[in-house]
Chains A and B, each alone.
Chain A
Amino acid sequence: MRPKKRSTAMGIRKEAQSGPPVKRFGIFLLLFLLLLFMAVGSLALGKYPLALCDIINFILFKFSHVGQIDPLRYQLQESLLLDIRLPRILAAILVGASLSVSGTAFQAMFVNPLVSPGLLGVLAGGSFGAALGMVFFKSWVAVQMCTFLFGFAAVLISVGIAKMHKGNTILLLVLGGVISGALFTSLLSVIKYIADPYNQLPAIVQWLMGGLSMVDRKSLLITGIPQVASIVLIALFSGYLNALSMGDEEARALGIPVEWVRLFLIFLATIMSALTVVMAGMIGWVGLIIPHVTRMLVGPDNKVLIPASALIGAIYLIVVDDVSRMLFNVEIPIGIATSLIGIPFFAIILKKARRGWG
């Protein structure tokens, strides 16, 4: 039974949700401005501090040649802002948004608010692929390809296992995901065992803890475009997601070709999540926590929830990345930071989380 007393978070949600479209628009505007503010603010943060006015001067000079900057200083600023900080911030935005949106979509289509994007094994498969690549290939591009391919393969195995049997598709998919995830986790152990313990193993371990420091502009473009496209497509499917979250039979009785829609959405979510591993390694808990928080703020309607969770996920990852590189002298891997923030938070909201699967 639900307790009568409502916490403030639920109160906010109710208010926001029942509001007219104008109010919803206001929330999006607010979130968007917050994201912009965070992104620009983070440009100024770092070991080499830059004042906001320096950044504004730089941008003005770069794009319209207004003002004056010492050439040496200009070069320093250019490499710092455009080659290091900006790609990293954009990557944080993309990874945060992708994980949050695929988490939201998974929670709706698996009719359970407690599942995360890794449910079907994409993160385990991607990690194995990355480790495999680091041990057997020299080139970074090959490692990235390997990561993506095995992330995809893991999901294919889950779906394949579910298709092999007849019965409750959702449950079978989840079990398939457990099997596939376990398989790739053990394979990862094999790779760790055979890896050279002086160079390769530390690199693998570091990668598995997640980090945005490896991001460069070129790979950002290649991974970013499919991620943005997938987010947009999932957002367009959000009306169907609402119906899917009522269970298979109801969705089918509403005329939705459930099997196809679900496969397509799994496909999109897999692309997005696999690419986050390609970009930044294993970043846990974002895809579970952010959809939850967003649902508390804007309600469960996926038409609002999907774009809002993309924005909130992006903001969250920028903040966590700032914290992880600023808090101590050495950078904390971002995956560790998201887990350490996410786990206690999850323990707290668990009580409010709605039970799934009956």
Chain B
Amino acid sequence: MLHISVRGVSFGYTNKTVLRDINIDIAHGEIVTLLGPNGCGKSTLIKLMLGLYRPVQGSIYLDGVDISRLASKTIARMIAYVPQIHRSSFPYTVMDIVLMGRIPHKTFFFRYSKKDISIAGDAMERLSISHLAERPYTELSGGERQLTVVARAIAQGARTLIMDEPATGLDYGNQLRLLEEMIRLSREGYTFIKSTHSPEHALWVADRAVMIKNGIIMADGKCDQVINSENLLYLYNARVNVMWVNNVFQICVPHAVSDFGQAGAGAGYRRHPGRC
């Protein structure tokens, strides 16, 4: 059964259309990577799927139910949001943050029960960050902070994680570790929808990529079919070679690197019309 279906969704502000007639079907356990230039509507689509915005046209179905008819707490029990890495203003402990994931299961004036604390502990254990439990979040590295938020999503009981550029701001090693955790969790049945700026991240996970440009879906399919030179040229206006390595996995190599010395790097580039 389809997990999330986005049907004919359009969204815009008073004088600007951000998304036009978007259709995506996502099944349980998929890792979907949203690709597209700045301002293409990725973040908006993410917020629509979280139920934070309402589509102007069309509907989004969550396990067959129109999301606009679900209470926000019900949505939160099914879908968790992992935002871009941020600095919290307050030095909450990792435990405090992971416990916040239990809020959708609580009513007004709640206290965390023993059960909540043990669920939060389990979530931290699954991501091997139990040793950080009492550390202030503000003193963690970017990678540890992102794992904390993923642990919160798991404590939330959600089986679907929607991530807005989760790897932005992480160093190379932490990006890899985050992707590893995602792959591991997706094998356990978790669904991931993430936006990213680097096609490599989609290739590493090697599942599904959705390319969005100017508010419409440009391509949608398995990574090895969708991520190719022509699509990337059209999507980012950047010339990139996508190469197979040993027929096992693909990598992106910029033309500037492979054709270095021809008329100077970047001479043939057309400036992307400024949208952001």
* Closest B residue to A252 using CB positions: B52
Q: If A250-B81, A299-B91, A354-B91 touch, does A243 touch B103 (CB 8 Å cutoff)?
A: yes
The answer for the CA separation of A257 and B139 in the assembled complex, in Å, is: 29
From the candidates B71, B81, B110, B136, name the one contacting A239 in the complex (CB within 8 A).
B110
From the candidates B47, B80, B100, name the one contacting A246 in the complex (CB within 8 A).
B100
Can you list, as one digit per residue, whether each of B66-82 has a CB less than 8 Å from chain A (1) or not (0)?
A: 00000111111101110
Residues of chain B contacted by A221 (CB below 8 angstroms)? none
Give the interface residue-count category, chain B: 35 or more
Measured between C-beta atoms, what is the minimum distance from B139 to chain A in Å?
6
From the candidates A2, A240, A356, name the one contacting B103 in the complex (CB within 8 A).
A240
Inter-chain contact B90/A295, CB cutoff 8 Å: yes
From the candidates B75, B77, B83, B134, name the one contacting A249 in the complex (CB within 8 A).
B83
Residue A301 at the B interface, CB < 8 A?
yes
Measured between C-beta atoms, what is the minimum distance from B40 to chain A in Å?
19
Measured between C-beta atoms, what is the minimum distance from A300 to chain B in Å?
4
* Closest B residue to A240 using CB positions: B103
Residues of chain A contacted by B72 (CB below 8 angstroms)? 252, 255-257
Measured between C-beta atoms, what is the minimum distance from A16 to chain B in Å?
11
Residues 65-89 of A contacting B (Cβ, < 8 Å): none
Residues 36-92 of B contacting A (Cβ, < 8 Å): 47, 50, 52, 71-77, 79-81, 83, 86-92
Inter-chain contact B89/A255, CB cutoff 8 Å: no
* Closest B residue to A355 using CB positions: B89
The answer for the CA separation of A242 and B77 in the assembled complex, in Å, is: 18
From the candidates B83, B111, B138, name the one contacting A354 in the complex (CB within 8 A).
B138
Inter-chain contact A249/B47, CB cutoff 8 Å: yes
Residues of chain A contacted by B52 (CB below 8 angstroms)? 249, 252-253
Inter-chain contact A354/B73, CB cutoff 8 Å: no
Residue B106 at the A interface, CB < 8 A?
yes
Residues 77-124 of B contacting A (Cβ, < 8 Å): 77, 79-81, 83, 86-93, 96-97, 100-101, 103-104, 106, 108-112
From the candidates A108, A249, A300, name the one contacting B91 in the complex (CB within 8 A).
A300
Inter-chain contact B89/A354, CB cutoff 8 Å: yes
Q: If A2-B138, A17-B93 touch, does A254 touch B156 (CB 8 Å cutoff)?
A: yes
Inter-chain contact B86/A239, CB cutoff 8 Å: no
Residue A112 at the B interface, CB < 8 A?
yes
The answer for the CA separation of A166 and B13 in the assembled complex, in Å, is: 10
Residue A18 at the B interface, CB < 8 A?
yes
Inter-chain contact B109/A236, CB cutoff 8 Å: yes
Inter-chain contact A254/B104, CB cutoff 8 Å: yes
Residues 95-137 of A contacting B (Cβ, < 8 Å): 108, 111-113
Can you list, as one digit per residue, whether each of A155-191 has a CB less than 8 Å from chain B (1) or not (0)?
A: 0000000000010000000000000000000000000
Q: If A237-B109, A242-B100 touch, does A300 touch B90 (CB 8 Å cutoff)?
A: yes
Inter-chain contact A253/B81, CB cutoff 8 Å: yes
Residues of chain B contacted by A2 (CB below 8 angstroms)? 138-139
Residues of chain A contacted by B96 (CB below 8 angstroms)? 242, 300-301
Measured between C-beta atoms, what is the minimum distance from A274 to chain B in Å?
24
Residue A342 at the B interface, CB < 8 A?
no
Residues 1-21 of A contacting B (Cβ, < 8 Å): 2, 14, 17-18
Q: If A2-B139, A253-B80, A354-B138 touch, does A239 touch B103 (CB 8 Å cutoff)?
A: yes
Q: If A254-B101, A255-B76, A256-B103 touch, does A18 touch B90 (CB 8 Å cutoff)?
A: no
Residues of chain B contacted by A257 (CB below 8 angstroms)? 72
Residues of chain B contacted by A301 (CB below 8 angstroms)? 92-93, 96
Residue A245 at the B interface, CB < 8 A?
yes
The answer for the CA separation of A237 and B110 in the assembled complex, in Å, is: 8
Residues of chain A contacted by B106 (CB below 8 angstroms)? 239
The answer for the CA separation of A355 and B138 in the assembled complex, in Å, is: 11
Measured between C-beta atoms, what is the minimum distance from B137 to chain A in Å?
9
The answer for the CA separation of A193 and B23 in the assembled complex, in Å, is: 65
Residues 212-245 of A contacting B (Cβ, < 8 Å): 236-237, 239-240, 242-243, 245
Inter-chain contact A112/B89, CB cutoff 8 Å: yes
Residues of chain A contacted by B13 (CB below 8 angstroms)? 166
* Closest A residue to B105 using CB positions: A255
* Closest B residue to A233 using CB positions: B109
Residues 245-276 of A contacting B (Cβ, < 8 Å): 245-247, 249-250, 252-257
Q: If A2-B138, A249-B83, A354-B138 touch, does A254 touch B100 (CB 8 Å cutoff)?
A: yes
Residues of chain A contacted by B110 (CB below 8 angstroms)? 239
The answer for the CA separation of A255 and B47 in the assembled complex, in Å, is: 13
Measured between C-beta atoms, what is the minimum distance from B94 to chain A in Å?
11
Inter-chain contact A299/B93, CB cutoff 8 Å: yes
Measured between C-beta atoms, what is the minimum distance from B222 to chain A in Å?
29
Inter-chain contact B80/A113, CB cutoff 8 Å: no
Residues of chain A contacted by B139 (CB below 8 angstroms)? 2
Inter-chain contact B91/A250, CB cutoff 8 Å: no
CB<8 Å pairs between A and B, sample of 28: A2-B139, A17-B93, A17-B134, A108-B90, A111-B89, A112-B89, A236-B108, A237-B108, A237-B109, A239-B106, A242-B92, A243-B103, A246-B100, A249-B47, A249-B81, A250-B81, A252-B50, A253-B79, A253-B81, A254-B100, A255-B74, A255-B76, A255-B104, A300-B90, A300-B91, A354-B138, A355-B87, A358-B87
Enumerate the 7 nearest inter-chain pairs by beta-carbon distance, A residue then B residue, closest first: A255-B76, A253-B81, A255-B73, A300-B90, A255-B104, A18-B134, A236-B109
